[in-house]
């Protein structure tokens, strides 16, 4: 297991990643491969080069400065040979238009804490804090725990955004230093879950039950994808499962799928096969929220993805 994550983004003034105004730290690396992911750069825990032909002006600076002759200009833009590229970042540093960027940078706990503490006034005024997201932040428990402990020492409210596919022991240890969780529940059928994400959901469901018993605040998030999990049978089963968790009725955010990340896939040089993924109809979205509410849940449509 990699103990030190790469960070692929730090979002300031985030308002959809927990209560109040927050700073969200995005860890690179995830055990799942959901094809609807809006952050495909979070799949891999390694550094990656991202290229946008729309932003490229064909100046050739990247080609000129690459120490490994890994990239070349073509009529279709810059092409990088992955066998030669050493991900040294030189091309991104010299690119005048940010057509080439690197995703993932090394940051120490101290450096991240500096970024978090800069916004403490906003957290205090808004009831906000810090959120750790990804990717899957729980893939890096030692690093994450150190950050959580330091935030706790500074009285900064802590949210962890997880898909729950981690050892239970890790989740419960993290829960000791976390006030609030955002927990993804994608679908109840494990065979389907594995078909779409690459992994079954037994551990995810067991972990959610165990986490609920700790008394931590947990908001459930259901990504709603037409052709994948928006059938009412799955939603009914999900609603019954959430309603049966220990503790108070949960808030459930329903996040409707939009195919807005396809450009990111191409910037990473990946071919995206959306397969059956579709945006759920407005009528189905309303039906889903109503069904969740029928189970006593505080359900709503959410713009966050």
Contact footprint for ligand SF4 (CB under 6 A): 49, 56-62, 66, 68, 70-71, 78, 80, 85-91, 94-95, 97, 99-100
Please identify, using beta-carbon distances, which residue of 28 and 157 lies nearer to ligand SF4.
Answer: 28
Q: Which residues pair with 100 in a beta bridge?
A: 51
Q: Are strands 71-74 and 48-51 parallel, antiparallel or unpaired?
A: unpaired
Residue closer to ligand SF4 (CB basis): 75 or 110: 75
Nearest to 36 by CA among 169, 186, 180: 186
DSSP H helices, the chain, are 61-65, 90-94, 109-117, 120-126, 141-153, 168-175, 190-197, 202-212, 232-243, 262-267, 282-294
Q: Under 8 Å CB-to-CB from 165, ≥6 apart: which residues?
A: 31, 32, 136, 199, 203, 204, 207
CB closer to ligand SF4 out of 75 and 260: 75
Measured from the CB of residue 78, what is the shortest distance to ligand SF4 in angstroms?
5
Q: Residue 9 Cβ, how far from ligand SF4 at the closest point, in Å?
A: 19
CB of 264 to ligand SF4, least distance (A): 17
Strand partners for 278: 226
Cα-Cα-Cα-Cα dihedral sign, residues 27, 221, 141, 23: positive
Residue 87 or 291: the one with the smaller Cβ distance to ligand SF4 is 87
Q: How far is the CB of 100 from ligand SF4 (least distance, A)?
A: 4
Identity of the residue, 78 or 166, whose beta carbon is nearer to ligand SF4 in the bound complex: 78
CA distances from 11 to 8, 102, 225, 254 (A): 10, 17, 25, 22
78 vs 299, which CB is nearer to ligand SF4?
A: 78
In the block, tokens 């006034």 appear at 121
- Secondary structure of 155-204 in HEC code, one letter for each residue: CCEEEEEECCCCCHHHHHHHHCCCCEEEEECCCCCHHHHHHHHCCCCHHH
Q: Specify the 3-state DSSP secondary structure of 147.
A: helix
Please say which residue, 76 or 233, places its beta carbon nearer to ligand SF4: 76
Toward ligand SF4, which CB reaches closer, 38 or 47?
A: 47
For the CB of residue 25, give the shortest distance to ligand SF4 in the complex, in Å. Answer: 24
Geometric angle at alpha carbon 242, from 239 and 246, rounded to 5°: 150
Least Å distance between CB 67 and ligand SF4? 6
Whether residue 135 has a cis bond before it, omega within 30° of 0: yes
Give the tokens for residue 201. Answer: 């959901």
């Amino acid at each position: 297991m990699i103990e030190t994550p790469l960070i692929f983004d730090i979002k300031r003034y985030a308002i959809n990643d927990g209560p109040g105004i927050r700073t969200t730290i995005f860890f690179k690396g995830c055990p799942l491969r959901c094809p609807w992911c809006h952050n495909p750069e979070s799949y891999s825990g390694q550094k990656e080069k991202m290229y946008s032909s729309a932003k490229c002006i064909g100046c050739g600076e990247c080609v000129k400065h690459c120490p490994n002759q890994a990239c070349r200009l073509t009529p279709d833009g810059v092409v990088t040979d992955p066998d030669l590229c050493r991900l040294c970042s030189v091309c991104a540093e010299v690119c005048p238009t940010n057509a080439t960027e690197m995703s993932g940078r090394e940051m120490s706990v101290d450096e991240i804490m500096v970024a978090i503490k800069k916004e403490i006034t906003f957290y205090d005024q808004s009831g906000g804090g810090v959120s750790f997201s990804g990717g899957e932040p729980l893939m890096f428990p030692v690093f994450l725990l150190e950050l959580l402990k330091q935030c706790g020492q500074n009285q900064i409210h802590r949210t962890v955004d997880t898909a729950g596919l981690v050892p239970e022991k890790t989740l419960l240890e993290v829960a000791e230093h976390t006030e609030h969780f955002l927990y993804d529940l994608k679908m109840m059928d494990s065979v389907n879950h594995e078909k779409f994400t690459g992994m079954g959901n037994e551990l995810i469901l067991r972990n959610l039950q165990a986490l609920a018993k700790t008394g931590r605040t947990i908001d459930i998030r259901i990504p709603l994808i037409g052709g994948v999990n928006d059938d009412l049978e799955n939603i009914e089963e999900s609603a019954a499962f959430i309603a049966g968790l220990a503790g108070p009725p949960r808030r459930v955010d329903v996040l409707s799928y939009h195919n807005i990340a396809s450009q990111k896939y191409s910037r990473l040089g990946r071919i995206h096969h959306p397969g059956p993924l579709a945006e759920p109809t407005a009528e189905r979205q309303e039906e889903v929220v109503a069904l969740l509410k029928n189970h006593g849940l505080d359900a709503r449509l959410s713009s966050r993805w």
